[in-house]
Amino acid sequence: MINPESEIHIDHKIRINRVFEYIERNLDRDLSLLSLSEIAFFSPFHFHRIFKAISGETIGEYVTRRRIEKSALDLIHKNIAVAEIYLKYGFSDNSSYTRTFKKFYGVSPTEFRKQNSDRFSKIRQLESKNGQLYPDHDKYICAIDNLKKWIIMNAKVEIREIQKIDLACISVIGHQNLQVAYQKLIRWATPMGLINRETNMITVYHDSFKVTEAEKVRMDACIVLNAAVRTSGEVSVSSIDNGKFIIGSFEIGLDEFEQAWTGLFLWMNENGYQKADRFPFELYHNNFNDHPEKKAIVDFYIPVG
**pLDDT tens digits, residue range 136-186?**
566 767 888 889 899 999 999 999 999 999 999 999 999 999 999 999 999
Q: Are 183 and 265 in contact (CB under 8 A)?
A: no
pLDDT of res. 126: 39
Phi, psi for 98 (deg, rounded to 5)? -65, -45
**Could you tell me which of 164, 162, 166, 163 has the C-alpha nearest to residue 238?**
166
**Given this model, what pLDDT does residue 1 score?**
44
Q: What is the four-CA torsion angle of 253, 257, 260, 263, rounded to 10 degrees?
A: -140
| Predicted pLDDT at 98 | 96
CA dihedral 149, 155, 160, 165 (to 10 degrees): -140
Residues contacting 210, CB < 8 A, separation 6+: 72, 73, 76, 121, 122, 125
**Amino acid 4: pLDDT:** 57
pTM of the model: 0.83
- Give the model's pLDDT for residue 116: 75
In angstroms, rounded to a whole number, what is the distance separating the alpha carbons of residues 15 and 38? Answer: 10
Q: Please name which of 254, 260, 219 lies closest in space to residue 238, comparing C-alpha atoms.
A: 219
Please report the domains of the chain, with CATH numbers, ordered by start residue.
Answer: 7-114 (1.10.10.60), 121-155 (no CATH), 159-303 (3.20.80.10)
- At residue 135, the pLDDT reads 45
Rounded to an integer, what distance in angstroms lies between the CA atom of residue 74 and that of residue 87?
Answer: 12
Segments in the chain below pLDDT 70? 1-5, 117-138, 140
> Which of helix, strand or coil describes residue 165?
strand
Q: What pLDDT is attached to residue 109?
A: 95
Q: What is the rounded CA–CA span in Å between residue 122 and residue 143?
A: 12
First to last CA, the chain: 46
Q: What is the pLDDT of residue 270?
A: 87
